[in-house]
Amino acid sequence: MKYKTSIFAIGIFILCIWFLLPLALYVYSFGIQISNDHERWAEFGSAMGGIYSPLLAVCTLVVLGAQVTLQRRQTALQQQINTHEYDQAFLLQSRSDIEFYGSKMNEVMSVQVLPGIPIKLFLKSNFTNLTKEDLDSPSKRELAANLHASTPMAYDLWAAVYPILAGMAHPVDKPMYELGFVASSQKLIALLGFEMCVALDNLHRVQSENRTCVDYLFSPLLRAAE
């Protein structure tokens, strides 16, 4: 701040000298006698006008240039502020959505798909430890189709999670997005358990028959296949 103040003071000092120097030269050359002759005053006005008009024009251009530069900086700063506010709002909404879908998914896990067998146990038994052949096997597809017919929320809620995660994973050079992505992933693990997240990944892959472009996050089998 002190450095900028010094530069400003020096600039004002130079500007004052720049404006006073022509007048000082005129006084030095022709003296400071006050004349009653209109022609002398006309000559003085003509001389001052010829000298100061270009100086004022240059000063005007400098001021306009400074205003344009300042306006550009303010516009760039406002854009940064708007972008930051948008990012904050987007991440806040995304994390809220993740928590909503995770909580709903946790509630669905207790629904019984068969007498005495909740969806949670059904998924762990049938979709946790799969092989590459299982992903496209008719038997697994039939199980996934039957589950979706009886309780579509299990697949639909998990399918809604990945677009949100993708929105946080794509931006580059934005640490806040990376932190939001990691926090949301950990939130799902905390709500459902890692094993259940793996089973849901595999269920999604089997049910969708790999027709969707999803970067699976939890299933080691699917992550190795990418």
What predicted TM-score, i.e. pTM, was given to this entire model? 0.68
Instruction: Look at residues 76, 111, 140 and tell me which one is the last residue of a structural domain.
Output: 76
| Residues 179 and 96 placed together within one structural domain of the fold | yes
Q: Which domain holds residue 147?
A: 88-225
Distance CA 176, CA 179 (A): 5
Query: pLDDT tens per residue, the chain (226 residues)?
Result: 556 667 767 767 777 777 777 777 777 776 666 767 777 777 777 777 777 777 778 778 878 888 888 888 888 888 888 888 988 899 999 999 999 999 999 899 988 888 888 999 999 999 998 888 988 899 999 999 999 998 899 899 999 999 999 888 866 678 888 888 999 999 999 999 999 999 999 999 999 887 888 889 999 988 876 5
| 112/219 same-domain check | yes
Residue 105 and residue 192 share a domain: yes
Nearest CA to 140 out of 185, 199, 84 is that of: 199
Identify whether residues 139 and 62 lie together within a single domain: no
Look at residues 22, 53, 76 and tell me which one is the last residue of a structural domain.
76
Measured from the Cβ of residue 59, the count of other Cβ atoms closer than 10 Å reads 14
- 152/140 Cα distance (integer angstroms): 16
Q: Are residue 94 and residue 62 in the same domain, yes or no?
A: no
Q: Give the separation between CA 63 and CA 67, rounded to whole angstroms.
A: 6
Q: Based on the structure, what is the number of domains in the chain?
A: 2
